[in-house]
Amino acid sequence: MPIPIDFITGALGFLFTVLILSYLIGDNPLFKIAIYLFVGVASGYAAAIIFWQVLYPKLFLPTATIIQTGNYSNAFLLFVPWLGLGFILMKISPRFAGAARITMAFLVGAGAAVTLVGALSGTINPQVMATINFFQGAIHKPTNELIEISFSGGVILLGLVTSLAYFHFGARQKPDGSTKRFVLVDIFAWIGRIFIGITLGVIFAGVYAAALTAFIERVSSLVIFIKTLLGIP
């Protein structure tokens, strides 16, 4: 009788889950075994994914196609990846490791440019405009909506201003040598601490909720595996 694959995967899942949960008693070999296996499997899987889903379809296969077909019109486009690959591989030899800087410089430069442009066009401008436009058209709305929008907008505005004020660390030096921020900035910073605290609390709640959900999922898988073994419906 063949063993169902679900049973094997369930058993392995059960085993590694217990190994990971053994961290409750501290760092132990069981936990380390699970971690090492996870790292090893993840690395192998990533390497396989990179080869089969990046190098092969995007470099080797087109190159082979060009060679087979003899159509070298797009060969220049493949020359750049090959050149970058060669430079990166030169890191193996310390003598020629400097050549990899060309490729790395290109990647970092392009990545920085993309990130900067994406941040400006995708985060900063939209967020600023969203904050400004929050009150747009509210004056023409009914009073109750106006109050709601004003309150919500006011809280958002207050939270934004006070949170930014909290991260303003400029201060003047007094004659006695002590330093203290401007009073208004200090007040806003104090209010901003509340908003920042609430934000961090919400993030922590979300992290806790995510972790709790994962924990529940794992425990549920164990229960299901046990029920499957036991034949409990």
Helix (H/G/I), strand (E/B), else coil: 175:
coil
Q: Is 197 in the site for another protein (CB under 8 A)?
A: no
Which residues have C-beta within 8 Å of that of residue 172, sequence separation ≥ 6?
179, 180, 182
Minimum CB distance to another protein, residue 149 (Å): 12
Q: Is 114 in the site for another protein (CB under 8 A)?
A: yes
Minimum CB distance to another protein, residue 118 (Å): 3
Taking CB under 8 A as the binding criterion, the range among 55-63, 93-101, 171-179, 184-192 that sits at the site for another protein is: 55-63
Q: Find the binding residues for another protein in span 155-194 (CB under 8 A).
A: none
Taking CB under 8 A as the binding criterion, the range among 28-36, 79-87, 185-193, 208-216 that sits at the site for another protein is: 208-216
Minimum CB distance to another protein, residue 125 (Å): 9
Which position among 40, 86, 118, 154 is part of the footprint of another protein (CB under 8 A)? Answer: 118
Q: Is 132 in the site for another protein (CB under 8 A)?
A: no
Q: Is 85 in the site for another protein (CB under 8 A)?
A: no
- What are the residues facing 173 on neighbouring strands? 179
Q: Is 65 in the site for another protein (CB under 8 A)?
A: no
Structure tokens at 221: 């898988």
Which residues have C-beta within 8 Å of that of residue 106, sequence separation ≥ 6?
84
Minimum CB distance to another protein, residue 184 (Å): 26
Amino acid sitting at position 151: F
In the chain, which residue ranges form alpha helices assigned H by DSSP?
5-21, 29-50, 61-69, 75-89, 100-119, 125-132, 143-166, 183-230
In angstroms, the CA 71 to CA 64 distance is: 11
Closer by beta carbon to another protein, 102 or else 181: 102
In angstroms, the CA 53 to CA 50 distance is: 5
Q: Is 44 in the site for another protein (CB under 8 A)?
A: no
Burial per residue of 128-140, b for 16 or more beta-carbon CB atoms within 10 angstroms, e otherwise: eeeeeebbeebee
Question: Helices 125-132 and 143-166 meet at what angle, rounded to 10?
Answer: 140
Q: Is 52 in the site for another protein (CB under 8 A)?
A: yes
Closer by beta carbon to another protein, 23 or else 182: 23
Which position among 24, 139, 183, 184 is part of the footprint of another protein (CB under 8 A)? Answer: 24
Structure tokens at 178: 């002590």
Q: Which residues bind another protein (CB under 8 A)?
A: 24, 42, 45-46, 49-50, 52-54, 56-58, 107, 110-111, 114-115, 118-119, 121-123, 126-127, 129-130, 199, 202-203, 205-224, 226-227
